[in-house]
């Protein structure tokens, strides 16, 4: 199948990615792409290899399978595509871009190389309903055909990136930026009582759905019976299925019933 896009008109002789009629298979493909995307354009999170780009040899960048939304058109590439990046001029490094280009006249969304110069990267064309680009990679090419890629992909999601110290364990502290792909959000409310004579209580909560690795958990106090008592709340993840909320107060003389809300964000 390689590269396809949809939906286009079905009148006349099929041109570009047009077809004479759409089948249940086309609609299933569309459903998968739309279900993966919560943003109006960009690469579809979690579908195949998310159009990952790799320099594989002289003048060649491989774009792995993936899907996207471009100017309202759905795009699917189910097989790796080799993109040719011609040499720069002698003694120079040229700044190009690899994009997904939607052509309404040609009825296609395809991988396209935009040629720049030694000074500037080429600008995107974004005229809706005519020609529309979304950026995938900056590509700097030498006069020997060696290509250096800079990732410009934007996921079609409301959540774009996170910061931490691990590519898999989201609760690991750090300053490395990671692009978000598969993400799930869970939330809830609970209650706990710090009994007379106690300073603290810990409550273990099981996630409704297990994460694939440790998630980020935040918690706040919604209400408490002793409104004037200072209470601190701390949430931390035990593993992929359970997290713990600790409530710590100043006093110890009277029971304090506390209602709390929590939200967990992590990998599917």
Residue 68 belongs to a domain: yes
Percentage of the chain beyond pLDDT 70 is 96
Query: Phi-psi category of 174—alpha, beta or left, where left has phi over 0 and alpha has psi -120 to 50?
Result: left
Q: How many domains does the chain have?
A: 2
pLDDT band of residue 1 (cuts 50, 70, 90) is low
Q: Spell out a b/e string for 86-98, using b for 16 or more CB atoms within 10 Å of the CB, else e.
A: eebeeeeebbbbb
Last residue of a domain, one of 120, 151, 182: 151
Looking up tokens 């060649």 gives 60
**Mean confidence (pLDDT) of the chain:** 89
CATH number of the domain to which 203 belongs = 2.60.40.2080
Residues 23, 143 within the same domain: yes
What is the predicted pLDDT for the residue at 12? 67
With contact defined as beta carbons under 8 Å apart, do 80 and 65 qualify? yes
Burial classification of residue 136, based on how many CB atoms lie within 10 Å of its CB (0-12 exposed, 13-18 middle, 19 or more buried) = buried
Percentage of the chain lying above the pLDDT 90 cut: 56
Asked if 121 and 68 touch (Cβ cutoff 8 Å), the reply is: no
The answer to whether residues 139 and 200 belong to one domain is no
d(CA 158, CA 198): 43
> Burial, 134: exposed, middle or buried (Cβ in 10 Å; 0-12, 13-18, 19+)?
buried
Tens digit of each residue's pLDDT (9 = 90 or more) over 163-175 = 999 888 888 899 9
Give the separation between CA 260 and CA 247, rounded to whole angstroms. Answer: 10
Do 28 and 147 belong together in one domain? yes
């Amino acid at each position: 199948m390689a590269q396809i896009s949809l939906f286009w008109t079905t009148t006349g002789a099929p041109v570009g990615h047009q077809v004479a009629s759409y089948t249940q298979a086309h609609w299933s493909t569309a459903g998968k792409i739309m279900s993966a995307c919560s943003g109006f354009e960009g690469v579809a999170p979690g579908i195949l290899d998310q159009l990952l780009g790799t320099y594989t040899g002289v003048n060649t960048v491989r774009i792995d399978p993936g899907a996207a939304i471009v100017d309202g058109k759905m795009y699917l590439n189910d097989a790796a595509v080799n993109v040719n990046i011609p040499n720069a001029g002698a003694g120079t490094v040229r700044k190009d871009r690899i994009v997904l280009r939607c052509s309404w006249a040609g009825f296609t969304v395809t991988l396209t190389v935009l040629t720049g110069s030694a000074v500037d990267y080429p600008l995107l064309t974004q005229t809706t309903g005519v020609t529309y680009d979304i950026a995938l990679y900056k590509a700097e090419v030498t006069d020997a055909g060696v290509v250096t890629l800079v990732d410009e992909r934007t996921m079609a999601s409301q959540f774009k990136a996170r910061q931490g110290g691990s590519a898999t364990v989201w609760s690991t502290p750090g300053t490395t930026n990671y692009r978000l792909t598969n993400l799930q959000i869970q939330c809830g409310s609970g209650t706990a009582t710090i009994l007379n004579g106690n300073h603290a209580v810990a409550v273990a909560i099981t996630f409704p759905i297990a994460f694939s690795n440790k998630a980020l958990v935040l918690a706040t106090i919604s209400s408490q019976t002793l409104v004037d008592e200072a209470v601190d709340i701390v949430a931390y993840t035990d593993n992929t299925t359970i997290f713990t909320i600790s409530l710590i107060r100043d006093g110890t003389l009277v029971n304090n019933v506390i209602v709390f809300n929590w939200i967990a964000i992590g990998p599917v």
